[in-house]
Amino acid sequence: MTAGPAEAAMAPWTLDRALAIAALDETVNAVFVTDADGVIQWVNRAFTELTGWAAEEAIGETPRIFQSGLHGRSYYEQLWKTIRAGKPFRSHVANRRPDGELYFASQSVTPICVDGKPAYFIAIQEDVTKLMEQQRELERLAYIDPLTGLGNRRAMYERVRELVAAGRVFALLIVDLNDFKAVNDCFGHTTGDELLRSVSRAIQRVATPGDAFRLGGDEFVVLHQGDQPLKDNALAARIAARSRKDAKRLVPDCAVTASIGFARYPQDATNGQDLLRFADLALYAAKSRGSVVAHYAPEMGARAIREQTLRQGLGIADFDREFSVAYQPIVDLSSGATTGFEALARWTHPTYGVIAPDEFIPLAERSGQVRGLGRWVLRRALEHLRSQADDHLRMNVNVAYAQLLQRGFVDEVMTTLDEFGVDPARLELELTESQEIDDERILGVIADLRDLGVGIAIDDFGTGYSSLSRLARLPITALKIDRSFVTELSGSERDQTVVRAVISTAQAIGQRVVAEGIETEEELAVLRNFGCDEGQGYLLGRPARVLAAGERQAA
Ligand code: C2E
Ligand code: MG
Ligand code: MG
């Protein structure tokens, strides 16, 4: 479009105007001009490309032909109000091409006034479809965990809000892998990542699409609609089983398991934050009692606080001030004479008072404090033994597996025996029946202790999975039958048979048999009758803190 010399001569600005029209026609943005009623009068070249309308089809129509249906009436009202008042209107607009395809444009509509009134409107639109798509993708990514493709914490909260708003009843399950750190440490992060992806797939197979999330690390969340906690339990069990199976395939030597805690809306909590917190407490409870699934209960909060306080307390405890040892007699069942004592740790906590070892020993085991505590108990026990007039009495001391694995443990036992002048044969260490006893290193330490002359007793026999024949191959000196068997003795024929068999088998290979927790004369009579060597229990003597010769205080 070039202006001829005649036109150029008409007025000094004519050429500029021609240029301006050329510029509008050539610009990459779509431009169209309407009259005061919105009827399209002129369009530029880019217009057809953007809108899909040919110039001759569009001219005479109104911009209504572009409408996508995505903007409400108020959008158009606002537009007309603004431009009729002589002001430009800027917005993002979603329009449709004649074939229905959606596109996004950044648009400005500017009135051109004649005699102070808008006579024409010029609309300029720039295609921003790609930009919008990128933005949406970014927005979507902000809700996605890149490793697994599951929704992230934000997405989880969003979904919880949706479910709450819709008045749904649902459970929030937190899935957490046990020993995941060990996988990362032993096999590297690539395998760790692979494991997380495979667990996420396991979860996706059983969760409703869009209701599984990864919060980070090895922590996943599943939302489960419905009002039956039993079904939550079943779902959790399925997730745990599948995760375990997948982990086994990937890292066969690592026993990776999943623990799951859940809380329900609206029964347990009425907002997303509390729901997550309570599910987390339930998870913690599941882990600390070694179970796969736990449903939140209000007392879990108090218990977690107590556990936390105890754990911290253990870390800073002055053993001499807060701990003591109670001694429970072990009695020869045929003669009734006391053959020795079992040393039992007691903790008098500054705020909670006396705490049973069943509560603090597992905490101490997890924090590693059990080594220091065990060393302290051994010293007190041997000190106590030295003070006894009878130099045939034995002292039984419980030890945790973590103690045995400690470097120099056997030397330490030897030095302590030396220090208190106690014959090694008078010390018997009690190990609970557990699979850990199969560990090569543990077997080595047991052999070294036996070489030293120290006795080894298997504690709580019957609660674990050891077979007698396997224990028979270990160089142990005594077998302590768990209290649960003794309690059942008077009622159950089956238990009688089992106990009788255990006693005769152990004795046949030279192991002493000690029955724990004898509380009644009847139990005592049956055990005596079976030829059980020794017994321990409230009937024969309670654990007591010996203050001075002849003066005792129950503990
Ligand atoms: P355990 O070695 O099996 O000790 C026997 C437990 O049974 C003691 O509980 C004792 O008080 C209790 N008991 C004894 N006779 C009876 C009875 O007739 N009836 C009933 N109901 N209970 C009886 P306690 O002192 O609470 O110790 C619990 C466990 O804590 C012990 O079980 C032992 O495994 C562990 N433990 C205690 N002290 C230590 C320690 O110094 N180091 C380690 N590693 N563990 C310890
Ligand atoms: Mg014991
Ligand atoms: Mg026991």
324-334: per-residue pLDDT in tens? 999 999 999 99
Give yes or no for residue 357 CB within 6 A of ligand 1.
Answer: yes
Residue nearest to atom 35 of ligand 1 (CA): 357
Confidence check: pLDDT of 7 > 80: no
Give yes or no for residue 52 CB within 6 A of ligand 1.
Answer: no
- Cα distance between residue 539 and residue 76, in whole Å: 92
Give yes or no for residue 281 CB within 6 A of ligand 1.
Answer: no
Ligand nearest to the CA of 464: 3
Confidence check: pLDDT of 5 > 50: no
Q: Within this chain, do residues 67 and 179 fall inside the same structural domain, yes or no?
A: no
| pLDDT, tens digit (0-9, with 9 covering 90-100), for 394-409 | 999 999 999 999 999 9
Res 303: pLDDT: 82
Res 553: pLDDT: 57
Give yes or no for residue 535 CB within 6 A of ligand 1.
Answer: no
Q: Within this chain, do residues 57 and 179 fall inside the same structural domain, yes or no?
A: no
Residue 177 alpha carbon to ligand 1 centre in Å: 31
Residue nearest to atom 42 of ligand 1 (CA): 398
User: Of the candidates 408, 416, 340, which has an alpha carbon nearest to the alpha carbon of residue 377?
Assistant: 416
For residues 427-446, give the mean pLDDT: 88
For residues 17-30, give the mean pLDDT: 89
Residue 369 alpha carbon to ligand 3 centre in Å: 21
Q: Which of 233, 268, 298 is the last residue of a domain?
A: 298
Ligand 1 nearest-atom number relative to CA 364: 44
Res 296: pLDDT: 96
What share of the chain in percent tops pLDDT 70? 95
| Domain membership flag for residue 309 | no
Give yes or no for residue 538 CB within 6 A of ligand 1.
Answer: yes
| Domain membership flag for residue 196 | yes
Res 11: pLDDT: 55
Res 383: pLDDT: 96
Q: What is the pTM of this model?
A: 0.62
Confidence check: pLDDT of 320 > 90: yes
| Domain membership flag for residue 138 | no
Q: Which of 133, 164, 190 is the last residue of a domain?
A: 133
Give yes or no for residue 482 CB within 6 A of ligand 1.
Answer: no
Residue 463 alpha carbon to ligand 3 centre in Å: 10
Rounded to the nearest angstrom, the gap between the alpha carbon of residue 11 and the centroid of all alpha carbons in its chain is 81
Q: CA-based angle 457:458:464, to the nearest 5? A: 175
Q: What is the CATH number of the domain that holds 223?
A: 3.30.70.270
Confidence check: pLDDT of 20 > 80: yes
Q: Within this chain, do residues 290 and 349 fall inside the same structural domain, yes or no?
A: no
Confidence check: pLDDT of 362 > 60: yes
For residues 368-387, give the mean pLDDT: 94
Confidence check: pLDDT of 550 > 60: no
Give yes or no for residue 352 CB within 6 A of ligand 1.
Answer: no
**Average pLDDT over the chain, rounded to an integer:** 90
Give yes or no for residue 51 CB within 6 A of ligand 1.
Answer: no
259: which 2 tokens? 């623990």
Ligand 1 nearest-atom number relative to CA 344: 38
Ligand 1 nearest-atom number relative to CA 480: 3
- Domain count across the chain: 3
Confidence of residue 498 (pLDDT cuts 50, 70, 90): confident
Ligand nearest to the CA of 482: 3
Give yes or no for residue 537 CB within 6 A of ligand 1.
Answer: yes
DSSP 136-173: HHHHHHTTB-TTT-SB-HHHHHHHHHHHHHTT--EEEE
Q: Which residue has the higher pLDDT, 535 or 12?
A: 535
| pLDDT, tens digit (0-9, with 9 covering 90-100), for 128-166 | 999 888 888 887 788 999 899 999 999 999 999 999 999
Residue 488 alpha carbon to ligand 1 centre in Å: 18
Q: Which of 133, 167, 200 is the last residue of a domain?
A: 133
H/E stretch holding 511: none
Q: Within this chain, do residues 27 and 94 fall inside the same structural domain, yes or no?
A: yes
Q: Decide: 284 and 261 in contact? Cβ < 8 Å.
A: yes
- Cα distance between residue 145 and residue 203, in whole Å: 14
Residue 221: CB atoms within 10 Å? 28
Q: Which of 377, 396, 398, 519 best tests ligand 1's pocket when mutated (most atoms within 8 Å of CB)? A: 398
Q: Decide: 261 and 281 in contact? Cβ < 8 Å.
A: yes
Confidence of residue 272 (pLDDT cuts 50, 70, 90): confident
Q: Within this chain, do residues 368 and 289 fall inside the same structural domain, yes or no?
A: no
Residue 344 alpha carbon to ligand 1 centre in Å: 6
Res 19: pLDDT: 87
For residues 18-27, give the mean pLDDT: 88
Q: What is the CATH number of the domain that holds 389?
A: 3.20.20.450
Residue nearest to atom 15 of ligand 1 (CA): 537
| Domain membership flag for residue 16 | yes
Q: Which residues sit with Cβ closer than 5 angstroms to ligand 2, an ion?
A: 398, 430, 459
Q: Decide: 535 and 514 in contact? Cβ < 8 Å.
A: yes
- Cα distance between residue 401 and residue 158, in whole Å: 46
Confidence check: pLDDT of 169 > 90: yes
Confidence check: pLDDT of 344 > 90: yes
Confidence of residue 12 (pLDDT cuts 50, 70, 90): low
- Cα distance between residue 465 and residue 535, in whole Å: 23
Q: Decide: 187 and 179 in contact? Cβ < 8 Å.
A: no
| Domain membership flag for residue 518 | yes
Give yes or no for residue 462 CB within 6 A of ligand 1.
Answer: no
Give yes or no for residue 329 CB within 6 A of ligand 1.
Answer: no
For residues 298-325, give the mean pLDDT: 90
237-241, 279-283, 370-374, 548-552, range with the lowest pLDDT: 548-552
Ligand 1 nearest-atom number relative to CA 518: 18
| pLDDT, tens digit (0-9, with 9 covering 90-100), for 410-424 | 999 999 999 999 999
Residue 200: CB atoms within 10 Å? 23
Residue 476 alpha carbon to ligand 1 centre in Å: 20
Res 79: pLDDT: 95
Residue 85: CB atoms within 10 Å? 10
Res 468: pLDDT: 73
What's the N-to-C CA distance of the chain in angstroms? 108
Q: Which of 324, 344, 359, 458 best tests ligand 1's pocket when mutated (most atoms within 8 Å of CB)? A: 344
Confidence check: pLDDT of 173 > 50: yes
DSSP E strands, 9-100:
30-35, 40-43, 89-96
| Domain membership flag for residue 140 | no
Q: Within this chain, do residues 234 and 339 fall inside the same structural domain, yes or no?
A: no
Ligand nearest to the CA of 430: 2
Q: Within this chain, do residues 379 and 528 fall inside the same structural domain, yes or no?
A: yes
Q: Within this chain, do residues 230 and 285 fall inside the same structural domain, yes or no?
A: yes
- Cα distance between residue 103 and residue 390, in whole Å: 97
Res 389: pLDDT: 86
| pLDDT, tens digit (0-9, with 9 covering 90-100), for 279-297 | 999 999 998 888 899 999 9
Confidence check: pLDDT of 452 > 90: yes
Q: Within this chain, do residues 193 and 282 fall inside the same structural domain, yes or no?
A: yes
For residues 224-243, give the mean pLDDT: 93
| pLDDT, tens digit (0-9, with 9 covering 90-100), for 60-110 | 999 999 999 888 889 999 999 999 999 999 999 999 999 999 999 999 999
Q: Which of 361, 434, 542 best tests ligand 1's pocket when mutated (most atoms within 8 Å of CB)? A: 361
| Domain membership flag for residue 359 | yes
Q: What is the CATH number of the domain that holds 51?
A: 3.30.450.20
Per-residue b or e along 13-48, where b marks 16 or more CB atoms closer than 10 Å to that residue's CB: eebeebeeeeebeeeebbbbbbeeebebebbbebbe
Residue partners of 177: CB distance under 8 A and separation at least 6: 195, 199, 218, 243, 247, 256, 257, 258, 259
| Domain membership flag for residue 307 | no
Q: Decide: 222 and 212 in contact? Cβ < 8 Å.
A: yes
Q: Is 204 helix (H, G, I), strand (E, B) or coil?
A: helix
Ligand nearest to the CA of 324: 1
Boundaries of domain holding 429:
316-554
Residue partners of 238: CB distance under 8 A and separation at least 6: 206
Ligand nearest to the CA of 519: 1
Confidence check: pLDDT of 10 > 70: no
Res 549: pLDDT: 43
Residue 211 identity: D
Give yes or no for residue 543 CB within 6 A of ligand 1.
Answer: yes
Give yes or no for residue 76 CB within 6 A of ligand 1.
Answer: no
| pLDDT, tens digit (0-9, with 9 covering 90-100), for 205-222 | 999 999 999 998 999 999
Q: Within this chain, do residues 151 and 68 fall inside the same structural domain, yes or no?
A: no
Q: Which residue has the higher pLDDT, 552 or 282?
A: 282
Q: Within this chain, do residues 168 and 129 fall inside the same structural domain, yes or no?
A: no
Q: Within this chain, do residues 383 and 508 fall inside the same structural domain, yes or no?
A: yes
Res 3: pLDDT: 43
